[in-house]
Homo-oligomer: A and B are copies of this chain.
Amino acid sequence: MTEQDNGRAKRGQRRGARGPTVADVARLAQVSPMTVSRVVNNDPKVHDTTRAKVEKAIAELGYVPNLAARSLAGGRQCRIGLLHSNPSAAYLSEFLVGSTEQANAMGAQLLVEHFEEEASRDALAAKLLSHRVDAVLLPPPLSDDVLLLECINRAGMAMAQVATGAPSPLAHAVTIDDEAAAYALTTRLVGLGHKRIGFIGGAPNQTASALRRNGYRRALDVAGIDADRRLETTGDFTFRSGMDCALALLALEERPSAIFASNDDMAAATIAAAHRMGLDVPRQLSVCGFDDTASATNVWPELTTARQPVADMAREAVRLLVDSVFDAKARTPRHVRVDFSLVLRESDASMRAS
């Protein structure tokens, strides 16, 4: 040992231990770093004996791969831009939880960006590109913005539309069967004896709105109830619009005995409107919502509604995007449909002696 080797750090040398690396694991398992990498990445070609040795060493050292090194070496980095403009905080919250979770699990980076209707779509695409975004996640209502889809597609980024009623050939899509869910809920109201069932539609620029309306109409049709167009109103998914529609419906000469609102916020508003007019829910008016967000249980009585698994849908969409970024074969747009369910609470009841 010369004096120079000693005492002070060598040139170019770095400080600080930062946990075990592939090299440490390789040494302990008596294999090459390459083999450790294979085990970590589930390469099926590794021999079982070797794999066991490596896994033992990994457990012993508490090895966790360094994501930064992995994405640098792999040349693969996946940045997903999550664009939101959704006025419903309850929806967005669930969506964010699901998507961040999945993005972390898959080693992707999530950039959350607010997008205003009035903003320029081209400027947005340019911004995403400058942030090196590979793929874009679109919750409603942006999942239905055709101009935006085209713009992002031109910029060469992959896309996933969540909860759209009109999956684009340019994008992945994750949806529930909105028509069937609305049909099921309306049929339930019919089953409870309701014949005059009011409808509050969602924003016309969201394609799912039309599907829900179709489901409502079909249920009435199947039940042999004559459609009365005066019972159909159109809101925009906000509480305020729900209030307006509900007041209009309740002011009708022949007042409906039940109202199906196309989301929970508007259903909550319907209950508020009923109370405002001195009507008891559900005794004098049954109300159903849609989505089963937090709003469904932040009213009294709590809402009977169709549950849309928002967090799961966000996870699935992230999975589709990450796969298409990392694997060219997964680039073909896929449409995944997940199950909805009916959640029965206290806002609806059967038509007895009214």
Interface residues of A (CB under 8 A from B): 14-16, 18-19, 62, 64, 66-69, 71-72, 75, 77, 88-90, 92-94, 96-97, 100-101, 104, 109-112, 114, 130-132, 239-240, 243, 265, 268-269, 271-273, 275-276, 278, 293-295, 297-300
Contacts and interface: CB of A to CB of B under 8 A. Distances in A.
Given A16-B75, A96-B96, A268 B298 contact: yes
Nearest to A295: B298
Given A239-B299, A295-B298, A300-B243, A89 B93 contact: yes
A64 B132 contact: yes
Given A68-B71, A112-B101, A276-B275, A298 B96 contact: no
Contacts of A265: 298
Q: Which applies to chain A's interface (DSSP): helix, strand, loop or mixed?
A: helix
A131 B300 contact: no
Contacts of A90: 89-90, 93, 294
A75 B278 contact: no
Contact of A104 (B71, B88, B112): B112
Contacts of A131: 64
A99 to B, nearest CB: 10
Contacts of A16: 75
B109 A104 contact: yes
A224 B48 CA distance: 80
12 contacts: A15-B75, A66-B72, A89-B94, A92-B93, A92-B97, A101-B112, A104-B109, A239-B297, A268-B298, A272-B299, A273-B300, A275-B276
Nearest to A62: B130
A22 to B, nearest CB: 13
A120 to B, nearest CB: 19
A68 B66 CA distance: 10
A16 B273 CA distance: 60
Contacts of A114: 97
Given A100-B100, A100-B112, 5 more contacts: A64-B130, A89-B294, A90-B294, A96-B100, A104-B109
Nearest to A114: B97
A167 to B, nearest CB: 26
Contacts of A293: 89
Contacts of A269: 298, 300
A240 B301 CA distance: 10
